[in-house]
Amino acid sequence: MTVVFNKPYSSLIEIKNIIDSIKRGQISGDGYYTKLCNEWFLKKINRKTLLTHSCTAALEMSAILIDTKTDDEIIMPSYTFVSTANAFVLRGAKPVFVDIRPDTLNIDENLIEPAITKKTKAIVPVHYSGLGCEMNLINKIAKKHNLYVIEDAAQGFGSMYNDKTLGTIGDLGTLSFHETKNIISGEGGALIINNEKLLERAEIIREKGTNRSKFFRGEVDKYTWIDVGSSYLPADIISAFLYAQLEFSNELTKKRIEIWNKYNEFFSKYEKNGIIKRPFIPANCKHNAHIYYIIFNSLEERTKFIKYLKHNDIHPVFHYIPLHNSPAGLKYCRTASNMKNTNKISDTLVRLPMYYELNDEDLGNIFNVTAKFFKDNY
């Protein structure tokens, strides 16, 4: 019995919505279901949200929106996906990496201010595994130095920090609906606009630099090229799929949390014995069970564990190779702190299978194989 790492979930509702979108005669961007998704976000988080074809696109829009220029510096963690940095490198800016905290694996908020220079333009906190960064202090630092805050909440759909939804706390927030995320549309993303001064330009940038959105709302009698931009819209058939997921999001998240809790209970005894560490959840954070990970004491132990599980048809994975060690990171970026936590976590973290249809039989198999590994090796 093979247990894969991820299995995208869909029901017949997604298919029905896609067929309905086709019948409505507009499957390009900003069709019927895109509008429904926009309304869903406005109702749930009280923010203007623009759907994009990926979280990468939302990050690229963010870089344009804050007028990122050559030699600007953008502070962020190195333990993240390449899009976080690449969006700003594309505008000529220099990502500046600081280390992560060893407990939450989020950017170490205490290392941000020492990394600020006269060239710093923005801070990009990444909410790793859907767990909120220390946004109060980050926003305080940003206000003090007149910086933008762009939340990379790619993994954070539905998570909370101090009762605030991730993505709604900085100037801008970005979400991902990639097939590996909690709520999916295959590819897909969204830009949450919390700074109202950026809203009108965001619509223009998303629509290839035109005021086309105003035209369709009847605010102008024709549309034209206004600003730089690109085609960041998702097709309406993508939005049709996404809308079904949004409507079912509470149930999807509830099931993932149940699975997360079972993992956490199982691994508690191994943490007590000092074999691994489990995720740490601060009291002021509500997570979305995007990832369940454990942290070993060494690269050798993690490698041995992954190999053993794969030999038994269970497929865990490690996560990011730190950007500060990558060829492009060395070429385009700067490191502003000791990266010991980032390097250690990259070598020792392993993610366990996590998806909606992971059942008790699958979990039992994972637990039995894992227990045997620990018994034989510790």
Question: 87, 84, 50: which is closest to 98 by C-alpha?
Answer: 84
Answer whether 253's CB lies under 8 Å from 29's CB: no
pLDDT tens-digit readout, 290-345:
999 999 999 999 999 999 999 999 999 999 999 999 999 999 999 999 999 999 99
pLDDT tens-digit readout, 273-287:
999 999 999 999 999
pTM of the model: 0.96
CATH number listed for the domain at residues 12-247: 3.40.640.10
Please report, as a single letter, which amino acid is at residue 191. Answer: L
Give the count of beta carbons closer than 10 Å to the beta carbon of residue 135: 23
CATH number listed for the domain at residues 249-377: 3.90.1150.10
pLDDT at 45 over 90: yes
For residues 181-195, give the mean pLDDT.
Answer: 97
Answer whether 224's CB lies under 8 Å from 24's CB: no
- Rg value, the chain, Cα: 21
In this structure, the chain runs to a length of 378
Tokens 């034989």, residue located: 376
- What is the domain partition of the chain in residue ranges? 12-247, 249-377
Query: At 3, is the secondary structure helix, strand, or coil?
Result: strand
